[in-house]
Chains A and B, each alone.
Chain A
Amino acid sequence: MSKTINRREFLKRGSALVAAGSLPLSLVEVAFGKAAGENFTFAYISDSHITHVKGSEFVRNWDRGLIRAVAEANLLDPRPDFIFYGGDIAQLGKAEEIDHGLEILGGLNGKVHYVMGEHDYYLDLGDYWKKQLGPDHYSFDHKGVHFVVLNSILTFDDWTNNKWPTAAERMHQMARLDNPQGSPFMVGDAQREWLKTDLEKVGKDTPVVVFSHSPIQKIHKGWNFWTDDAEQVQALLKPFDKVTVIYGHVHQIQYNQIGNISFHSAMATAWPWPYPSTYTQVQTWLPKLTVEMNRADPFFERDATGWQFINLHTGNVDMSYMLPDNSNRVVAFDTRAGKPVDTKYQAVANRIPPQTHY
């Protein structure tokens, strides 16, 4: 794949995929019961971890990742309908970090929707973030698709309110990914009740796209590649014909299909994370469908970081990973197989040595 794939070329490739599925477009639309459905695209940027050092100084490396993603997203032509930000603007939830991140994100041309990450939340329980950006869970409709945003990084009240002497200590503890003193993420009863009510007014043939920071599936509890009430959220999504969950947090390519639900993760703009299977002391559950991203070469500062643009194609998601120091990847919904597949590397014979993680 060309490193310089642009959006027009991507859209052409998307059409070619449908052709490869040997179904005429009209048939696909009929099959999905949305004859009036419109295809559209949006951009997705996540996990910038803007870090305040002191005074007006921020970690240069993480700044550069976000600045680059914003610049590239602004070059998309034709324009995406909107942009999503998948959470963790900040590293330690500080107002300085959220302000600095939003200043950079303010350069984006177009409407931006935001998702709450744990690094934005656990200093002041999301107060400053909400003051700047609004509610942490909401829904809207766009061109026949129902979009839902959840705050999936909540945890047990006792851990949040009683365990730590200060808010800063609580934030430090949750900011450490491999913390044995951490606590599992969850959507929680109140938001699940809200989601149930929200979905009652949505037709079952309406494509639903859910955004969360953590995966609404269970991969590795020790790093919170995990949402504790994932099955209960999935159950609320089960009655719909086509559902996609898009999440951040994991700083790597993951995708999966569970029943009617497609899952896609986003790259971070800041730094990549190893796959959980490389921690040899515990068992983990990366979806078998996932062809892993290339192992990061630390000598290339932006390797294994990136951002995404997304084609909502007859209500399913085609995910294009824009990887500044690597070949771009496209994971598209294969209508015949009924699941997302990597358009180049899915067959075992097509994989390359850098995709081996150990």
Chain B
Amino acid sequence: MKRTMKHVLAPFVLGMLFAAPGQADAFTQADLDRWQAEYMATVDKGEKLFHGGLNSSNTVSCDQCHPNATNIHPETYPKFQQQLGKVAVLGEMINWCIRNPLESEPLALDSADMIALQSYILYERRGVALAPGKH
């Protein structure tokens, strides 16, 4: 992932935006720390949304059925969701839960809240091997 970042994104995006003399791959430990802190801040936001922080019309929250974000299996998406009749991404199942047990309005798949929820869910599942399609 870091190699992709370095070789693909950095030269084009950063180069074009800043046209600065710095080298694209010259990131420092301070950069790494900042990026990790940005991610963890999003995880923390997701953790709060997951534990009652969503605008839930009936007060039900994600953690009631999924303590520590268990039984979500983010490593298995995208997968064929037989109940939806198609291959779905995790965000679609999160929205299914928001619509049904939470009886609330779904989130845009690219919304900050949806990204935060997925950041938290994936963080609690760190270390588990990818298993796309698994049931």
Across chains A and B, the number of contacting residue pairs, with CB separation under 8 Å, is 60
B-side interface mostly: loop
Interface size class of B (residues with CB under 8 A): 20 to 34
A289 within 8 A of B: no
Which chain B residues border A274 with CB–CB below 8 Å?
66-67, 70-71
Which chain A residues border B83 with CB–CB below 8 Å?
297, 299
- Please determine whether A53 and B73 come into contact, CB atoms closer than 8 angstroms: no
Which chain A residues border B101 with CB–CB below 8 Å?
61, 271, 298
- Please determine whether B63 and A178 come into contact, CB atoms closer than 8 angstroms: yes
Could you tell me which residues of chain B, from 108 to 135, have a CB within 8 Å of some CB in chain A?
A: 124-128
Which chain A residues border B70 with CB–CB below 8 Å?
274, 278-279
A52 — nearest CB in chain B belongs to which residue?
A: B59
- Please determine whether B127 and A223 come into contact, CB atoms closer than 8 angstroms: no
A240 within 8 A of B: no
Count of chain A residues with a beta carbon within 8 Å of a chain B beta carbon: 27
Interface code B57-69, partner A: CB below 8 Å = 1, 0 otherwise? 1111001111110
- Please determine whether A178 and B97 come into contact, CB atoms closer than 8 angstroms: no
Partner of A273, one of B57, B67, B125, B127: B67
Closest beta carbon of chain B to A88's beta carbon, Å:
12
Q: How far apart sit A358 and B76, CA to CA, in the bound complex (Å)?
A: 11
- Please determine whether B100 and A298 come into contact, CB atoms closer than 8 angstroms: yes
- Please determine whether B60 and A59 come into contact, CB atoms closer than 8 angstroms: yes
Which B residues are within 8 Å of any A CB, using their own CB? 51-52, 57-60, 63-68, 70-71, 73, 83, 96-97, 100-101, 103, 124-128
Which A residues are within 8 Å of any B CB, using their own CB? 49, 51, 53, 57, 59-61, 176-178, 222-223, 271-274, 278-281, 295-299, 357-358
